[in-house]
Structure 1
Amino acid sequence: MAVGELAKAVNGAIGDFTGRPGTTSERTVFRWLSGKNRWPQERQRRGLEIVTGLPVIALGFVPRGKSKSVPALPEDPDMRRRQFFGAAAGTAAAAIPLAPPASARPSRVGTSDVIRLRDDVERLVALDAERGGHGLEQAALDGAAEALRLQKQSTTQRVRQRLFALASDFTATAAWSLIDAGQLDGAGRHLDRALTLAGLAQDSEMTMQVWNLRAMLARQSRDYPEAVASSQAAQATAIARRSPLHASLAHARTAVGLAHNGEARAALGCLGRAEDALAKADLAQPRSTWMSFYSPAELYSLTAIVRDVVGQPAQAEAASHRALAALPETYRRNRAHTTARLALAQLHQDDVEQACATSGQVFTIMAGTPLPGRMRQLLGDFQRDLIARAPSAHIAHDWMDRYRTEWSSS
């Protein structure tokens, strides 16, 4: 019924601006409708305004102690209920998860549209974790276009900014799809657009997401000074200054760039700051969808990269094992990538046979799914180093012969 749907919509709106869903119950809504509660709590008032697009006074509520300065509620309780339901029912019904086609949706744009698009972002992130981001570019761009279309119809500044933020998130996801696929040429263009949209949203977290991806793109392009500068820009965002979790990622990304740029001491210093910041983070707190990947497991993975690049392969191997032990099973692509890094660390200790066996696990982990271009490049690095380090040529040739089919068909 509408009462339950309205309570759910209000709780969802409260969750959007506080980070935790509200606790409004059907009983609370009935108290509003009956007039027993004529002035909801502040969070509930804000939630109602977001859901309905109307000031709470227009819904018939009266501030405590202000009855002489605002219009009184209608005397007839039935009229009061009709007024409240008439204002809220359309938006409450929009809280039902299955959204109708765009042509069938009402022209008013609000929180339910934001929630629907956010769910779409979450689905793309789940696909990325399972098989890699490659192939998601068009779906992400379609999501961005939908968010921008809706923001033009929005009647509130808050909803418009949230839709701009979602458009930035979708566009950054499109850029990530190209980065993961190893198709770097178009990724920068998407990131420029995502940064503009983040600015329009006035959203520092989306701004940090863009700089984080810009650092990854620069590293993939072997432009290590830009990778360092981009990750330092991520450190300077407001969200990184106030959130230890975000600060940890920014420091870790800087460490990777510095390591590749030949600045080993500075890289290890940044790695230490990333560890210190993560120790201060409350990992149980809700977080944005794009940050769901970052955890102790991801920091171990980045640590493995830094340690290997600066010439500490034994420490890199240990960090890779810790990452694999902590990674969720659903993060299949990350597991395969970390396994490839483990193989490189073993190879760099001249444990050639073990490295070859470990690298073969990548194909097993990703069985049934094409290898992302970024992972292919990493395996290409492994093959190049294998040829250089193998005590006899046949070991490298055996590895290439064994996995040529899997590599070419992936």
Structure 2
Amino acid sequence: MEVTRNAALEQWMAEHGHSSNSLADAVNGALERLTGRAGGLDGSSIRSWKAGRVKWPKSATRKALEDVTGLSATSLGFVPRGRTSVAPALSQEDSDMKRRILVGGIAAAAAAATAPSASRRRIGISDVDRLHTRFTEVIANDHRHGGQLGIEQRATALADEALNLQNMGSATQRVRNSLYACAASFRSSAMWAAIDGRRYNDARAHMREAQVLAEMSGNQAIKFRIWSHAGTMYRHMGRPSHALAANDVARNLHITRRDPLFASLGLARQSAIHGVARDRTGTRRAFEQAQDAMLRADPADFRPVWMLAFYDQAELDSLGLSAFLALGDYQTAEFHAHRCLSALRPHMRRSLAITTTRLAHAQLAQGAVDAATVTAMSVPSDAATQHARVSRLLQKFGAALHATAPGSSTTQIWTEHHRNAWRTPA
């Protein structure tokens, strides 16, 4: 039997910029959302569809393809089993009637296109790309300033903008999923800004919104980010059991099995949670596993901008510093602090302030009063006064210094510095 190429599928792929490999990836992702298992399609599978060798894919695969394209399988040129793809010949009368219907339909469509109700436009990948650019700007502001209410509000507004695009025009399922992923990304940044600013009620509200949007997008990376943030939030709130439960959701996602870097981040944050819980064995084991996973990660693999912007060896050591400081292993904490500071990228200004402050705590706990005070005084004044986490850590440092060396000249110098250099502007 003659095999006829699937011209309808080829045309749809050309119009939407899909290669065989990219469509296979998209359908595999939709299959995972439908069945809980990753699909096994590859480029050769799609080429078999285009060549007409596969006329009617399996039911789950068809549904996944329809979710990706927004079209039925038959509209994409597939033919149900037991039917023929060749249409029966039309009589002259039928042909004339079809022609009249077609001409009338074209005229009606043209009239509709000029009507005011036709203002809805086509939403495409270019709209998604524009949102990605704005997301990159939010990430950059977060690493410079961190925790600011303005960053939280900006990210929330951009999440709403991404959702509003859903109602402004038509779009393929692929674009709609991308818009939901963008909205979830912005919400997760709003959530993180609220966590960083210690506005935990607001953070929980953003978390709930972000989780729903992430589920609608089916994007594994953004799901990981949201649940990993949730674990960090509960850790900062001093609730390690909640923190471990949330972080475990992130660590059990399929993406951590596919990409060792995601596995590394999940393990590094687990180590920090174990530190808060004073689990010495768990802290060390999780950190060692995080380091091993990072060494196995391929730098050439594609990863989202939020991951590339912050997670590296310096951040791993920053989490190690947090873990061992909470555990009370101050010498190991200081070791990771120095390693972090030596490798920290210049744009990580918020991380620089936090790491420096934690280093001061580790030094003071080992009795190095003068060195710790010099370290604490090197924290930039804008971070000391405007970043909630840094301000709180410095207040705790001052209290510990007064308890360790009351009345000493070093304590007096610190008190004077705190009063003058870090005075909050009126």
| TM-score normalised over the length of structure 2 | 0.71
Distance, in Å, in 2 between the alignment partners of 1:219 and 1:174 is 18
1:22-41 Cα shifts (integer Å, max 9, x gaps): xxxxxxxxxxxxxxxxxxx9
Corresponding residue for 2:356?
Answer: 339
The aligned runs of 1:210-289 (5 Å cut-off) are 210-289=226-305
How far the C-alpha of 1:403 sits from its partner, in A, is 1.8
Contact persistence 2:227–2:246 (CA under 8 A): yes
Is the aligned partner of 1:362 residue 2:389? no
Aligned counterpart for 2:132 among listed residues 118, 121, 128: 118
Greater Rg by CA: 2
Distance, in Å, in 2 between the alignment partners of 1:239 and 1:216 is 19
Corresponding residue for 2:160?
Answer: 145
Is the aligned partner of 1:128 residue 2:145? no
Distance, in Å, in 1 between the alignment partners of 2:270 and 2:86 is 56
Corresponding residue for 1:308?
Answer: 325
Aligned counterpart for 2:347 among listed residues 317, 330, 333: 330
Q: Secondary structure at 2:200's aligned position in 1?
A: coil
How far the C-alpha of 1:179 sits from its partner, in A, is 1.2
- What one-letter code is carried by the residue in structure 2 that aligns with 1:344? H
Q: Secondary structure at 2:211's aligned position in 1?
A: helix
Distance, in Å, in 1 between the alignment partners of 2:396 and 2:300 is 37
How far the C-alpha of 1:392 sits from its partner, in A, is 4.1
- What one-letter code is carried by the residue in structure 2 that aligns with 1:117? L
Alignment CA distance shift 1:225-1:190 (3 Å): same
Corresponding residue for 1:385?
Answer: 400
Alignment CA distance shift 1:154-1:137 (3 Å): farther
Is the aligned partner of 1:183 residue 2:199? yes
Is the aligned partner of 1:296 residue 2:313? yes
Is the aligned partner of 1:162 residue 2:178? yes
Q: Secondary structure at 2:298's aligned position in 1?
A: coil
- What one-letter code is carried by the residue in structure 2 that aligns with 1:281? A
How far the C-alpha of 1:261 sits from its partner, in A, is 1.0
- What one-letter code is carried by the residue in structure 2 that aligns with 1:285? D
Distance, in Å, in 1 between the alignment partners of 2:86 and 2:306 is 44
Alignment CA distance shift 1:197-1:130 (3 Å): same
Alignment CA distance shift 1:394-1:182 (3 Å): farther
Distance, in Å, in 2 between the alignment partners of 1:208 and 1:282 is 19
- What one-letter code is carried by the residue in structure 2 that aligns with 1:384? A
How far the C-alpha of 1:353 sits from its partner, in A, is 0.6
Contact persistence 1:245–1:277 (CA under 8 A): yes
Alignment CA distance shift 1:405-1:185 (3 Å): farther
Contact persistence 1:53–1:110 (CA under 8 A): no
Alignment CA distance shift 1:317-1:198 (3 Å): same
How far the C-alpha of 1:16 sits from its partner, in A, is 11
How far the C-alpha of 1:204 sits from its partner, in A, is 1.7
- How many corresponding residue pairs? 340
- What one-letter code is carried by the residue in structure 2 that aligns with 1:144? A
Distance, in Å, in 1 between the alignment partners of 2:128 and 2:415 is 49
Corresponding residue for 1:79?
Answer: none
Distance, in Å, in 2 between the alignment partners of 1:16 and 1:119 is 24
How far the C-alpha of 1:352 sits from its partner, in A, is 0.7
How far the C-alpha of 1:397 sits from its partner, in A, is 3.9
Identity of aligned residues (%): 35
- What one-letter code is carried by the residue in structure 1 that aligns with 2:364? L
The aligned runs of 1:13-52 (5 Å cut-off) are none
Distance, in Å, in 2 between the alignment partners of 1:296 and 1:11 is 35
What stretches of structure 1 of length at least 5 have no aligned partner?
A: 1-6, 20-40, 43-51, 59-68, 72-104
Is the aligned partner of 1:353 residue 2:367? no
Distance, in Å, in 2 between the alignment partners of 1:301 and 1:166 is 28
How far the C-alpha of 1:206 sits from its partner, in A, is 1.2
| TM-score normalised over the length of structure 1 | 0.73
Q: Secondary structure at 2:123's aligned position in 1?
A: coil
What stretches of structure 2 of length at least 5 have no aligned partner?
A: 1-13, 27-46, 49-68, 76-84, 88-118
- What one-letter code is carried by the residue in structure 1 that aligns with 2:346? E
Contact persistence 1:252–1:271 (CA under 8 A): yes
- What one-letter code is carried by the residue in structure 1 that aligns with 2:284? L
- What one-letter code is carried by the residue in structure 2 that aligns with 1:248? S
Distance, in Å, in 2 between the alignment partners of 1:53 and 1:227 is 38
- What one-letter code is carried by the residue in structure 2 that aligns with 1:373? A
1:363-403 Cα shifts (integer Å, max 9, x gaps): 26x47x95311111121222222222226455334312212
Corresponding residue for 1:207?
Answer: 223
Q: Secondary structure at 1:141's aligned position in 2?
A: helix
How far the C-alpha of 1:54 sits from its partner, in A, is 10
How far the C-alpha of 1:173 sits from its partner, in A, is 0.7
- What one-letter code is carried by the residue in structure 2 that aligns with 1:404? R
Distance, in Å, in 2 between the alignment partners of 1:11 and 1:352 is 62
Distance, in Å, in 2 between the alignment partners of 1:336 and 1:387 is 22
How far the C-alpha of 1:254 sits from its partner, in A, is 0.9
- What one-letter code is carried by the residue in structure 2 that aligns with 1:341? R
Contact persistence 1:182–1:372 (CA under 8 A): no
Is the aligned partner of 1:399 residue 2:392? no
Distance, in Å, in 1 between the alignment partners of 2:377 and 2:22 is 44
Distance, in Å, in 1 between the alignment partners of 2:321 and 2:246 is 21
1:16-61 Cα shifts (integer Å, max 9, x gaps): 9989xxxxxxxxxxxxxxxxxxxxx99xxxxxxxxx9999xx9xxx
Aligned counterpart for 2:391 among listed residues 376, 384, 403: 376
Distance, in Å, in 1 between the alignment partners of 2:229 and 2:157 is 20
Q: Secondary structure at 2:420's aligned position in 1?
A: helix
Distance, in Å, in 2 between the alignment partners of 1:15 and 1:288 is 17
Alignment CA distance shift 1:133-1:120 (3 Å): farther
Alignment CA distance shift 1:356-1:197 (3 Å): same
How far the C-alpha of 1:285 sits from its partner, in A, is 2.8
- What one-letter code is carried by the residue in structure 2 that aligns with 1:140? A
Contact persistence 1:179–1:374 (CA under 8 A): no
Distance, in Å, in 1 between the alignment partners of 2:257 and 2:396 is 36
